[in-house]
Amino acid sequence: MRKSLSWRFILILVTIIGLPIIGYGQPGPPPDPDVPITGIEILLSAGALLGLKKLVGKSKQK
């Protein structure tokens, strides 16, 4: 009778410890898809290129 009680205890203990390990071991949700370049990024890069062109033009004049 004592032997069956210890096996039950071990089985319950393994179940209590094992289930959270299995639950947290699952992969997470997939990442967000990549967003293509929108119009605002194109405008920002065009403005940066124009500013760079102005700086290079001013430095060549001096």
Q: What pLDDT shows up at residue 25? A: 79
DSSP assignment of 10-34, as one string?
Answer: HHHHHHHHHHHHHHHTS--PPPPPP
Question: How far, in Å, CA of 23 to CA of 20, rounded?
Answer: 5
Structure tokens at 4: 């069956």
What is the end-to-end Cα distance of the chain in Å, rounded? 99
pLDDT tens for each residue of 14-24: 889 888 888 78
Q: Domain spans of the chain? A: 7-60
Number of Cβ atoms within 10 Å of the Cβ of 50: 10
Q: Distances in Å between the alpha carbon of 44 and those of 15, 17, 50?
A: 57, 54, 10
Check whether 5 has a pLDDT greater than 60.
Answer: yes
Check whether 45 has a pLDDT greater than 60.
Answer: yes
